Amino acid sequence: MSDRILGAVCIAVGAGMAWAARGYVAPISYEPVGPSSFPMLMAGLMAAAGAWLVVRPGPHVFDMPRSHLLPFGLSVFAVFIYAGLFQLLGFTLATALMALPVGMAFGGGWKKSLAGGVGLGLVLYLLFDKLLDVVLPTGLLSFIFGGR
């Protein structure tokens, strides 16, 4: 039952996000896609995922065995630490360090989790910063990527 409550909350939050983003406009726009597009997309995805949680049959999301609570808690803790160190360490290094405990929580060895995190951090940095021109913090690695 609690996954259905979570789904209803996701639908409500998604609707609130969409309502808040409807007025996002750029003073000067050269792009056909404005600043409200990404928040609206995220709101729609959140509402759709919430609707799926409400109507889906089968086992409930929160009926996990006790043995899964520690890895789940470790993953949540790692994401909070990631958010706190994001600016200081930069996107690439923070992502690599966050992927280590999360990968290990899902059964990966520390070497594979660290290698996957480094690869994920580098590939996503290059994709967003260089290809899509989304400015990401470089942090401690600013001497490699150029200071921002």
User: In the chain, what are the domain boundaries?
Assistant: 2-55, 66-145
Q: Would you state the pLDDT for residue 63?
A: 63
Report the candidate in 131, 127, 119, 130 with the shortest Cα–Cα distance to residue 95: 119
Gap between the Cα atoms of 101 and 83, Å rounded: 14
The confidence band for 70, taking pLDDT boundaries of 50, 70 and 90, is confident
Write the pLDDT tens digit of every residue in 90-139.
888 999 989 988 888 888 888 999 999 999 989 988 888 878 777 778 77
Report, as an integer, the average pLDDT of 73-86. Answer: 86
Residue pair 108/117 in contact by the 8 Å Cβ criterion: no
Q: Would you state the pLDDT for residue 111?
A: 92
Give the SS3 label for residue 38.
Answer: helix
Which amino acid is residue 34, in one-letter code?
G
The whole model's pTM is what?
0.57
- Which residue has 């290990």 as its token pair? 104
Gap between the Cα atoms of 55 and 53, Å rounded: 6
The confidence band for 72, taking pLDDT boundaries of 50, 70 and 90, is confident
Q: Would you state the pLDDT for residue 11?
A: 92
Gap between the Cα atoms of 54 and 28, Å rounded: 41
DSSP one-letter code for 28: S
Report, as an integer, the average pLDDT of 54-78. Answer: 73
Burial of 108 (0-12, 13-18, 19+ CB in 10 A): middle
Q: Tell me: pLDDT of 32 over 70.
A: no
Q: What average pLDDT does the chain have?
A: 81
- Better-scored residue on pLDDT, 87 or 70: 87
Q: Work out the number of other CB atoms within 10 angstroms of the CB of residue 120.
A: 16
What are the residue ranges of helices labelled H in the chain?
Answer: 2-21, 37-55, 69-89, 91-105, 110-125, 142-145
